[in-house]
């Protein structure tokens, strides 16, 4: 008994020193994920980005991730655990990690942090996000062309600016095709809950919607649309396998290039706190192939995508009329400025619903 205990202790000591030595010369990069890496949506795409990073720079870095980290007090601990394990650059990939990331960042000024989709920064904390409203605009055009009932179903997560701007971009685009287009909105109050997302999709279809779009992370809505013979847009990742006859296109997040760029900067010692907001031109997200639609609709979508990428078409070009019937102030000249979109807290005219909390 004593012998085996000794052996155990020796083994632990040995193993401890070995792992410390091999990790010393590589840059450690940490990731905090909201969902499981198998969610096939938001977290899955971030992990694909991490894998791309490992493929590109695997000989110089070591990555670690924590998955399924809830957006509460646990996230602060998770982030700090990564710091204490020696990670020098840490990506926290959900909005709810904003305050915890900031708290830990202030505590460890020599570690660099990257927070996805937030608005608080620090000299050692950057933010990054994508202009998904551009993709929503293209989806709005397609939806208006493809909907027979003239009713779109929209599954929202939380009524935050990112989501509200997506709804507005969709309806503004759809109105250029069909001025009487209607949209039904259901707030799932979650980013990832396949059961709730599926229920929302069923309810929307029952209310007459024949094109379903979502701002939640799982493919559940796509599966329901597929079962019911309706059309849908994927979200975050390619979801065609869940609705081969249903998916029109999908907004596919593409974090790899950004992660590689930021880690390269860290390796070169040129990392700075920045605010990155990537559009279609930056390829921070891409559109899945346009499927299940006639050629003319496909062409229209491709043209719109090209125009937005080239900067010739802005989804929030003025004049824009708010739900109250009054024109929205146009701070960006010909279109709304970034601040107005990042803080968007109103519905445009034509949305027959009330923004929660308004």
Residues lying near other proteins in the complex (CB under 8 A) are found at 8, 11-12, 15-16, 19, 30, 36, 64-68, 70-74, 76-78, 80-82, 84-85, 95-96, 99, 107, 119, 158-161, 164, 189, 342-343, 345, 356-357
Q: CB-wise, 75 or 214, nearer to other proteins?
A: 75
Q: CB-wise, 77 or 349, nearer to other proteins?
A: 77
How distant, in Å, are the alpha carbons of 34, 43, 135 from that of 138? 28, 24, 5
Q: CB-wise, 68 or 286, nearer to other proteins?
A: 68
Q: CB-wise, 99 or 199, nearer to other proteins?
A: 99
Q: CB-wise, 64 or 286, nearer to other proteins?
A: 64
Q: CB-wise, 295 or 324, nearer to other proteins?
A: 324
Q: CB-wise, 161 or 350, nearer to other proteins?
A: 161
Left (φ > 0), alpha (ψ -120 to 50) or beta: where does 88 sit? alpha
Q: Helices (DSSP H) in 34-131: which residue ranges? A: 42-57, 73-84, 98-107
Least separation in angstroms between CB 58 and other proteins: 14
Q: CB-wise, 319 or 357, nearer to other proteins?
A: 357
Least separation in angstroms between CB 187 and other proteins: 9
Q: CB-wise, 96 or 219, nearer to other proteins?
A: 96
Least separation in angstroms between CB 69 and other proteins: 9
Least separation in angstroms between CB 237 and other proteins: 20
- The HSE-up count of residue 260 (CA atoms within 13 Å, CB side) is 15
Q: Under 8 Å CB-to-CB from 156, ≥6 apart: which residues?
A: 163, 167, 185, 186, 187, 188, 215, 216
What DSSP element (H or E) covers 120? none
Least separation in angstroms between CB 7 and other proteins: 9
- Measure the CA–CA gap between 351 and 323, rounded to whole angstroms: 7
Least separation in angstroms between CB 163 and other proteins: 9
- Measure the CA–CA gap between 24 and 206, rounded to whole angstroms: 58
Q: CB-wise, 76 or 197, nearer to other proteins?
A: 76
Among residues 116, 142, 89, 53, the alpha carbon closest in space to that of 278 is found at: 116
R_g of the chain, CA atoms, integer Å: 22
Which DSSP letter does residue 250 get? E
Least separation in angstroms between CB 226 and other proteins: 28
Least separation in angstroms between CB 247 and other proteins: 29
φ, ψ at 325 (rounded to 5°): 90, -5
- Measure the CA–CA gap between 231 and 143, rounded to whole angstroms: 9
Least separation in angstroms between CB 71 and other proteins: 6
Judge contact between 307 and 263, C-beta under 8 A. Answer: no
Burial of 291 (0-12, 13-18, 19+ CB in 10 A): middle
- Measure the CA–CA gap between 303 and 136, rounded to whole angstroms: 15
Least separation in angstroms between CB 96 and other proteins: 8
Among residues 141, 119, 138, 117, the alpha carbon closest in space to that of 278 is found at: 117
């Amino acid at each position: 008994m004593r012998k085996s205990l000794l052996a155990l202790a020796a083994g632990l000591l040995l193993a401890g020193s070995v792992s410390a030595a091999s990790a010393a010369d590589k840059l450690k990069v940490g990731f905090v994920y909201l969902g499981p890496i198998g969610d096939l949506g938001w977290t899955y795409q971030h992990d694909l980005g991490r894998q791309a990073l490992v493929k590109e720079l695997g000989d110089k870095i070591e990555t670690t991730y924590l998955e399924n980290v809830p957006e509460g007090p646990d996230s602060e601990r998770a982030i700090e655990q990564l710091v204490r394990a020696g990670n020098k650059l840490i990506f926290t990939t959900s909005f709810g990690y904003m305050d915890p990331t900031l708290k830990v960042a202030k505590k460890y000024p020599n570690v660099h942090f990257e927070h996805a989709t937030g608005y608080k920064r620090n000299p050692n904390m950057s933010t990054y996000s994508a202009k998904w409203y551009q993709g929503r605009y293209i989806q709005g055009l397609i939806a208006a062309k493809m909907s027979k009932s003239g009713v779109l179903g929209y599954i929202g997560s939380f009524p935050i600016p990112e989501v509200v701007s997506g709804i507005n971009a969709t309806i503004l685009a759809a109105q250029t095709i069909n001025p009487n287009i209607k949209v039904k909105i259901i707030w799932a109050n979650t980013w990832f809950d396949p059961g709730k997302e599926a229920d929302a999709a069923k309810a929307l279809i029952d209310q007459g919607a024949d094109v379903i779009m979502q701002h939640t992370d799982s493919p559940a809505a796509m599966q329901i649309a597929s079962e019911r013979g309706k059309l849908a847009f994927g979200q975050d990742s390619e979801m065609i396998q869940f609705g081969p006859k249903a998916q029109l296109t999908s907004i596919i997040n593409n974090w790899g290039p950004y992660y590689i760029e930021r880690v390269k900067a860290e390796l070169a010692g040129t990392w700075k706190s920045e605010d990155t907001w990537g559009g279609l031109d930056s390829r921070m997200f891409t559109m899945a192939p346009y499927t299940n639609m006639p050629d003319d609709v496909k062409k229209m979508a491709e043209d719109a995508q090209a125009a937005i990428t080239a900067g010739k078409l802005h989804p929030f070009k003025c004049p824009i009329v708010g739900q109250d019937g009054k024109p929205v102030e146009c701070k960006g000249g010909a279109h709304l400025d970034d601040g107005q979109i990042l803080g968007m807290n109103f519905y445009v005219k034509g949305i027959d619903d009330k923004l929660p909390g308004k």
